[in-house]
Amino acid sequence: MQRSTATCRSPRLRRLGVRALPLLAMTALVTAGPAGAQDFELPPLPNEAQVYPAVVPIPTPQHDPWYADPADLAGYANGDVIRSRVVQTHVLGIPAPVHSTQLLLRSSDVHDNPIATATTVLMPGIPWLGPGARPLISYQEAIDSLGQQCNPSYTLRAGIQKEVAIMSQFLAAGAAVVVTDFDGKENTIMSPSEGRMVLDGIRAAQRGGLGLEAAPVGLWGYSGGGNASASAAEQRRHYAPELDIKGSAQGGIPGDKVAIAPFAISGQQPQANFTGWLAVLGLAREYPEFADQLWQYLTPEGRRVADDLRERCLYTSVATTLLRPMAEYLTDPEAALAAARPALAAASFGAPENTPDMPLLMWHSTTDQLLPAELAIDAIAAGYCARGVDMRMIRVPFSEHISAEIVPELGTVAWLLAVAAGADPGPRVC
């Protein structure tokens, strides 16, 4: 493994001085910083692309030829299955009692270029006892990562998928679950292409010969997964109008990315630093013109942090950026935000032409430290209400971002299962 020369020279640390020493002692083993600093030398933090091959007995997507694009990719329609394979899903090294089929499928990015991504269809070994056909739940994990090995098609097989407990509730009820790599091979997180890949993952599951052709569909996702679910809910009527999606349960959404961006890069809440870095870098992968501008505004240290994040998954991204607010690695933060505005606006929700046409269950913490509701979702929710969306909104009190996923979990799962089975979605919030 190549040893990084990463060090810690954050302007914030220089201001903290001696008070930062206890925190440095705790994070020294998990935090990698920009190169060339003289203040504190920290051990390098390996990324998951380096660690997983040493501990997981299956190849990462970067080294697995199954993921390769076919030469005739453009000849496939969106949602068509390119190839399939039966795999074993694991939970912490223990085989899970579900039948798992992976499908490589064709989708499209925001520029309508053909792309290939993977999805995993999980079929429980118990019958669906509800009315009608077995539902298909499209489960969007909060991937929040920039490396292919972080995507669920790999982590489900490796036994390190972090949201499998929620997923299993749908399986235990007899529903099928489709889990798509909705950030694609390039991990273009927060891009509108997330919604396209979710919808094409559903198409592939229904075209894959798995008996799900007539399955009613529900969407579930929280945080980064909520972003993908909301994107799919907004784009369905234009991109995949044939899909019978009965409802979307989507929580903790960074809906207004223009409004949330200054907070995300500011360092006001260190736990939120990773959201700014990952969203900006993910969007830059989807919008090359923005990528060129962003690189000009990053300081030399900022470029090294950005390069260090290229293959990281969520947890090491959080550790790497905890003491590094992005604003302190930009030569002109306001100008950089102005350059990012077109991409942030394109990735935001609430445009009238993208009004969801399905029942929604939305929820958000009243004290979310990563995505404050007044910045992230309040204006989007108000716009949905004004345009008559069939919506209900839960404000989760006495919580923060993580607990706001867990507290209403049973209710959101039960609501989506019931709605997918044909139940009335309940009273609207407005």
Instruction: Give the type of residue at 81.
Output: V
Residue given tokens 């909104």 in the structure block: 393
Tally Cβ neighbours within 10 Å of residue 265: 25
What pLDDT tens digit does each residue of the chain (430 aa) get? Answer: 333 334 444 444 333 333 333 333 334 334 444 443 334 445 669 999 999 999 999 999 999 999 999 999 999 999 999 999 999 999 988 999 999 999 999 999 999 999 999 999 999 999 999 999 999 999 999 999 999 999 999 999 999 999 999 999 999 999 999 999 999 999 999 999 999 999 999 999 999 999 999 999 999 999 999 999 999 999 999 999 999 999 999 999 999 999 999 999 999 999 999 999 999 999 999 999 999 999 999 999 999 999 999 999 999 999 999 999 999 999 999 999 999 999 999 999 999 999 999 999 999 999 999 999 999 999 999 999 999 999 999 999 999 999 999 999 999 999 999 999 999 999 998 7
Q: Quick check: 356 and 233 in contact, CB under 8 A?
A: yes
- Kindly report the backbone phi and psi dihedral angles of residue 367, in degrees, each rounded to the nearest multiple of 5, phi listed first: -130, 50
Tally Cβ neighbours within 10 Å of residue 355: 17
Q: Quick check: 188 and 285 in contact, CB under 8 A?
A: yes
Burial group, residue 71, by CB count within 10 angstroms (0-12, 13-18, 19+): exposed
Among residues 128, 71, 123, 124, the alpha carbon closest in space to that of 102 is found at 123
Q: Quick check: 341 and 293 in contact, CB under 8 A?
A: no
| pLDDT of res. 44 | 65
| pLDDT of res. 429 | 85
Q: Quick check: 6 and 303 in contact, CB under 8 A?
A: no
* Token pair of 428 as six digits: 């609207």
Q: Which residues of 321-354 are buried (b: 16+ CB within 10 A; e: fewer)?
A: bbbbbbbbbbeebeebbebbeebbebbbbbeeeb
| Model confidence, pTM | 0.91
> Any idea of the CA torsion for 248, 419, 415, 173, to the nearest 10 degrees?
-110
Among residues 362, 426, 371, the alpha carbon closest in space to that of 395 is found at 362
Instruction: Give the type of residue at 69.
Output: D
> Any idea of the CA torsion for 124, 129, 134, 137, to the nearest 10 degrees?
-70
Q: Quick check: 365 and 404 in contact, CB under 8 A?
A: yes
Walk across the sheet containing 217-222 and list its strands: 81-87, 98-108, 114-124, 176-180, 136-140, 217-222, 245-251, 360-365, 391-396
- Rounded Cα–Cα distance for residues 307 and 305 (Å): 5
Residue given tokens 């030398």 in the structure block: 41
27: left (phi over 0), alpha (psi -120 to 50) or beta: alpha
> Any idea of the CA torsion for 304, 310, 313, 315, to the nearest 10 degrees?
10
Task: Give the 3-state secondary structure of residue 400.
Answer: coil
Strand partners, 247: 218
The residues near 408 (Cβ < 8 Å, ≥ 6 apart) are 251, 363, 394, 396
| pLDDT of res. 153 | 98
Q: Quick check: 336 and 294 in contact, CB under 8 A?
A: yes
> Any idea of the CA torsion for 393, 397, 403, 408, to the nearest 10 degrees?
-40
